[in-house]
Chain A
Amino acid sequence: MRKNLLMTLAVSSALAFGVVACGDDDETPSGGGEEQAASNGGGDLSGKIAIDGSSTVAPFAEAAAELFQEENSGVQITVGTSGTGGGFEKFCAGETDISDASRPIDEEEEVPICEEGAVEYTEVQVANDGIAIATNKELAVDCLTTKQLKQIWNKGSKVKSLADVDPSLPDTELSLYGPGTDSGTFDFFTDEINGEEGVSREDYEASEDDNQLVTGVSGDEGGFGYFGFSYYESAADGLNLVGVDSGDGCIKPSAETIQDGSYTPLARPLFMYPSAKAMQRPEVKAFMEFVVAQARAIAEAAKIVPLTDEQTQTAKDELAQAEAGA
């Protein structure tokens, strides 16, 4: 009887080990980039690409990774979301291959660190983005001026409802949502609207995860938040988009107004910074070329505002230059 028990246990453990150890082999696109070259799925590229940085660029990077891996299943790409600042920290320490950024690399604070770490890079614009101001569907407001936005979001603001900035607006108590302070979106918004980066009121629901913000705003009666435009687009049914008036009339964010810059001041370019060292690896080179060539398709898949034709050309030139120089 004991022998049976031991046998049962032994067999089940062996099964578990077996599934784990052998299970990978007959799966199609899976790991194994080290020992075996990519089996099915074509392409003989293999290796790992580490991408980290802005959570706004992340959907683009992840869509690019997915589409790239359809042709090159031997390449493992991980996309982290430490925020633009956090991404650059790792990038300049040599820990990542490509840094996602929702703003250019900071001349004063970040460039010196990269120089110290002997990390050379290329700045490639891959898409456009705007920050969408959104409210809950029940909270109907069509337009806000930048001044009103500052009133609501500035440090020390006591604004409790939209009626406080404009008596004609509803007096529902606001439920504020916004990105956390590590986020490039936060930096950009506070810089443009409040006048100084990092300065903001504190009593809002902060999250690095834009998805949570969207869920929050669409769920609360007085929901009011700001996040990347692509996150708005993927949940547009449950949200009310607010237009921004910076002096030239009310402009609502859309692919066009973001691309041509009329949605100011909350439109911005999105970048990927591949390091020169990483570009020497064939898989990284192929990936970046894929990104630039397919930028439009990737942006559409990720529901991000794509580059204009002109911007696409510039990006291709930048990349070609980088490859030639390397």
Chain B
Amino acid sequence: MTGAQIAARAAGRSVIPKAARRDRAFAAFFRALMYGAVGLSVLALATLLYDVARDGLPKLSVDFLTSFPSRIIPANSGIESAIYGTLWLMVVCAVIVVPLGIATAVYLEEFADRTKWWNRVVEVNIQNLAAVPSVVYGILGLAFIVRGPISLGRTVLAGGITLALLVLPVVIIVAREAIRAVPSSIREGSLALGATQWQTIWKQVLPGSIAGIATGVILALSRAIGETAPLLVIGAAVNPRFNPEGLGSAFTALPIQIFAWTQDPNREFVDLAAAAILVMMVVLLLMNSFAIFLRNRYEQNW
């Protein structure tokens, strides 16, 4: 402590000198900036929700959920085909992404030798894939899956596979973190008791990380639900008046229906888009709450 500080303490004043007025003024100004920034974010969200609710709430009804989109009469239009399309896509996507994602994550965390170059390539590759714009995945879907070698046509299966490829990197990254969170003591204990590596993984590591993995999968799926660009490029149907009958069926999805209605000059249809947005947000909210519930309830505290 400096002499001045010792003297200050003896006199009962604060040891650390008070900041100069200019500094305090700047600090107050900066704080105001920060509050402003945070306030703007909150304002943005609030305005967005308000606008969507104002336009869309009046149009919500059970009929809305159980009718097909009409091109000519807004009052009769609904999102039944969009809801079913989205559901079908989600199921296909989940069926592909869950085993693939978990398997890849297990491989990378438990088996891969980090010094081998090919394993490092896989890791970097996954990080790059996670940053590729979703529209490029749409191009991949169009060129490879809808046409090209796999040639599935503009079907639910093609859409589901494309979405699965889109969210696969996210699932892998999240699953890896969940697996990594399991302490090595668990693994070592299991091995010490004579279990093989796979037995350890299957009986100890995976059950221990399943909460984290499930949370990540649900969050990835909720991202896939909101994706519009890849489905546009693949060729989702617009205003179809039927639900998908099977994997080979044409399809639409909530974001696509919203996209079509948003751009209609008829204000009635625009309001329907808002109503559909509300439905979609409710679905997302449910999924995210479910994910958080899973995480809180089943999270392992090692």
Interface, chain A (partner B; CB < 8 A): 1-2, 4-6, 8-9, 12-13, 16-17, 19-20, 23-24, 27, 29-34, 59, 62-63, 65-66, 69, 76-78, 209, 211-212, 214-215, 218, 231, 234-235, 238, 301-303
Checking B87, B210, B237, B294 against A16 with a beta-carbon cut-off of 8 angstroms, the contacting residue is B87
State A34–B84 Cα separation when bound (angstroms): 18
List A contacts of B66 (CB < 8 A): 27
Query: Are B91 and A27 in touch, CB under 8 angstroms?
Result: no
* Interchain CB contact under 8 A, A5 and B265: no
Give the interface centre of B80, B210, B241 by most chain A CB atoms within 10 Å: B241
Contact between A63 and B72, CB atoms less than 8 A apart:
yes
Determine chain A's interface SS by DSSP, over half rule.
Answer: helix
Tell me the number of A-to-B contacts counted with CB atoms below 8 Å.
Answer: 88
CB atoms of A59 and B71 under 8 A apart: yes
A9 contact set on B, CB distance < 8 A = 214
Cα distance, A218 to B266, chains bound together (Å): 11
18 A-B pairs besides A31-B243, A76-B241, A211-B264 with CB distance below 8 A are A1-B298, A2-B207, A5-B210, A5-B214, A6-B210, A16-B94, A20-B88, A23-B87, A23-B243, A30-B68, A30-B80, A62-B71, A62-B239, A63-B72, A65-B241, A209-B263, A215-B263, A235-B265
B185-237 contacts to A (CB < 8 Å):
207, 210-211, 214, 237
Classify chain B: how many residues form its interface, as a range: 20 to 34
Pairs of residues from A and B, 7 with the lowest C-beta to C-beta distance, nearest first: A62-B71, A31-B242, A214-B265, A31-B245, A235-B265, A5-B298, A215-B265
- Contact call A63/B237, Cβ cutoff below 8 A: no
Q: How far is the CB of A197 from chain B (nearest CB, A)?
A: 27
Within the complex, the shortest CB–CB distance from B236 to chain A, in Å, comes to: 12
What is the CA–CA distance of A49 and B153 in the complex, to the nearest angstrom? 17
CB-defined contacts of A29 to chain B, threshold 8 Å: 68, 241
Is there contact, CB below 8 Å, between A66 and B71? yes
Closest chain B residue, CB of each to CB of A215: B265
The verdict on A30 contacting B72 (CB below 8 Å), with A5-B294, A16-B90, A19-B87 known, is: no
CA distance A130 to B214 in the complex (A): 57
Is B141's CB within 8 Å of the partner chain A?
A: no
* Closest chain A CB from B76 CB (angstroms): 9
Query: Who on chain A is nearest to B67 by CB?
Result: A29
Instruction: Check B101 for interface membership: any CB of A closer than 8 A.
Output: no
